[in-house]
Structure 1
Amino acid sequence: MTNQTFPVLEGKVAIVTGAAMGMGEATAKLFASAGAKVVVADFNDELGQKVTEEIKANGGEASFVHVDVSNEAEVEAMVKFAVDTYGELNVAVNNAARAPDQAPIADFDANVWDGIMAVDVKGVALGLKYQIRQMQAQGKGGSIINISSVSGFRPQPYTAAYNSAKHAVLGLTKTAAVEVGTEGIRVNAVAPGAVDTPMLRDALERFNFDPEAYAQQLSTLGRFAQADEIAQGSMWLASDASSYVHGTCLQIDGGYINR
């Protein structure tokens, strides 16, 4: 699959959370190839450093920072790290998430619920808090992209916590958008469909689903998305090409939601 990149993020400083693998890794690498200085943020130090070194080896500019997005002090430190390292913050992608739960509502595990909510919802809210504060202080606007899911529109059974979390991400996106739009800070979401990532492959194995058959159910294109295809949507929202796109959600789902 061709991955065309133009310098549409030249001069911008971007944070990508959950950037050690999957969609976050693809987004960090694509942003760097488009000219951004990228802060690779993740709790997995080994894989995060690996992504950072790969970006540098390909001529990009990147730095790694350890972050647990459910920890407020670490999220605040992440934003400070970006500014201390590169001077400002222009773009943020709140991508970090936990894998979906697997139980009917009548049997859900409260500990699993709390873990998913801590990362997928609280983590996005904390990201917004400190990213917006920094962009407000700079007075130059910015773009924030929150990663939701098709499950925020069309829930899957037995994933109550994940479905609820991804609905909440849309609510956070809309709330932030109505609060900060007049300051030139654009806030949008992306709702990926089924993306061929380690998280998806692990989930398919846990649920004992056949990948080929499942792809037919989750896309009218009959295949899983590649992580780069989702990253392209985030790059457009991060760029000035989407300067009048605000408070909305870009569905990148192969037609799944409307089938």
Structure 2
Amino acid sequence: MALLTDKTAVVTGGASGLGRAVAELFADHGAAVVVADLRSEPREGGAPIHERIADQGGDAAFVECDVTRYEDCVDAVAAAEEFGGIDVMVNNAGIVGPQTPLVDLDFDEYQTLMEVNLRGVFHGSKAAAIAMLEQGNGGSIINMSSVAGMQGYGGITPYSAAKGGVRLFSYALASELGPDDIRVNAVHPGVIETAMTTEDSPTVGTEEGEKLKQTIPLRRFGQPEDVAGVCGFLASDLASYVTAESIVVDGGNLNSA
């Protein structure tokens, strides 16, 4: 059953990793997708996802987007008008940033991470909310947080701070926009096998990673499709009464002994 027929979604950071999987799943379920990213080429290699969707008969477009620039997010949302206007906003773009003890942390590095991971969510949410309110048809805003936004992790203090900010920002915005039938939720992935966990912050495929995997109840790391499935639910009418919520996608690790 197609869950997103006649819906249009904007996915920031949609060219690679989690965003690419989200864009692909949304298209598979009938949505038109605007892929908003700094570049169209996926880090994993292969064809750009908007081209792949179009080649398979779906509706998709690419917009170059730096989420630290509000104007870029406005342009990405405006691109959805080609397909009837925005119904779903997925604020997925993010970086790992410095993995440095606080006492050695340079403020400029901290600021860069906060600009992308928290300010970017603000920009994307604001641009989407304005358009959704003007359309008057409700909508769904999905903000990508992390298990680090539920629990502090030493060594990645700025990342935890930003992702924790995304969580509470989502709750507050859900309160503001709920009367207009706009739902806002946060998704909190654990270790998911993407370039972020194999290259930027190597965990998957390392000795330490193998030890970590044995503490996960499902005994595996997540795949991008695991996160995309949750986003598909939150974007769909199946989640019409779900807002101001956090959904953790980590194989059960955060809440298990």
Q: TM-score normalised by the shorter chain: which range applies?
A: over 0.9
- Alignment partner for residue 9 of structure 2, among 7, 14, 26? 14
- For residue 168 of structure 1, report the CA deviation from its aligned partner: 0.4
Give 2:40's match in structure 1, choosing from 39, 45, 60: 45
Q: Is the 8 A contact 2:197 2:204 kept in 1?
A: no
1:78 equivalent in structure 2 = 76
Structure 1 residue 162 corresponds to structure 2 residue 122 = no
Larger helix percent: 1
Unaligned runs of 5+ in 1: 1-5
3-state SS, counterpart of residue 255 of structure 1: coil
- Contact kept in structure 2, 1:212 and 1:223, CA below 8 Å: no
Instruction: After superposition, give the CA deviation of every residue in 1:58-109 in whole Å (9 maximum; x if it has no partner).
Output: 33221111100001111111111222x2121100110000124211111112
Shift of 1:204: 4.3
Kindly indicate whether residue 26 of structure 2 is the aligned counterpart of residue 31 of structure 1.
yes
In 2 relative to 1, CA 62–208 (structure 1 residues): closer, same or farther, beyond 3 Å? closer
* Counterpart in the other structure of 1:114: 111
Q: d(CA) in 2 for partners of 1:155 and 1:203?
A: 19
TM-score, length basis structure 2 = 0.93
Q: Secondary structure at the match of 2:48?
A: helix
Aligned to 1:198: 195
Residue 194 of structure 1 contacts residue 215 of structure 1 at CA under 8 Å; is this kept in 2? no
1:207 & 1:220 partners in 2: Cα distance?
Answer: 16
Partner of 2:180: 183
User: 1:220 aligned to 2:217?
Assistant: yes
Number of matched residues?
A: 252
Percent of paired sites with the same residue? 38
The secondary structure found in structure 2 opposite 1:93 is strand
Aligned-pair distance for 1:47?
A: 3.3
Distance 1:52 1:151, change over 3 A: same
Gaps spanning 5+ residues in structure 2: where? none
The match for 1:68 is 66
Q: Which letter does structure 1 place at the counterpart of 2:19?
A: G
**Aligned alpha-carbon RMSD (Å):** 1.7
The match for 2:254 is 257
1:190–1:250 CA contact under 8 A, matched in 2: yes
Mapped to 1, the partners of 2:203 and 2:138 lie a distance apart of: 43
**Conserved? CA contact 1:23–1:230, under 8 Å:** yes
- The 2-side partners of 1:236 and 1:114 are apart by 33
Aligned to 1:3: none
TM-score normalised by structure 1 residue count: 0.93
Q: Judge conservation of contact 2:36–2:63 (CA < 8 Å) in 1.
A: yes
Match of 1:57 among 46, 55, 58: 55
In structure 2, the residue matched to 1:92 is: 89
Measure, in 2, the Cα distance between the counterparts of 1:81 and 1:207: 36
In structure 2, the residue corresponding to 1:145 is in which secondary structure?
A: strand
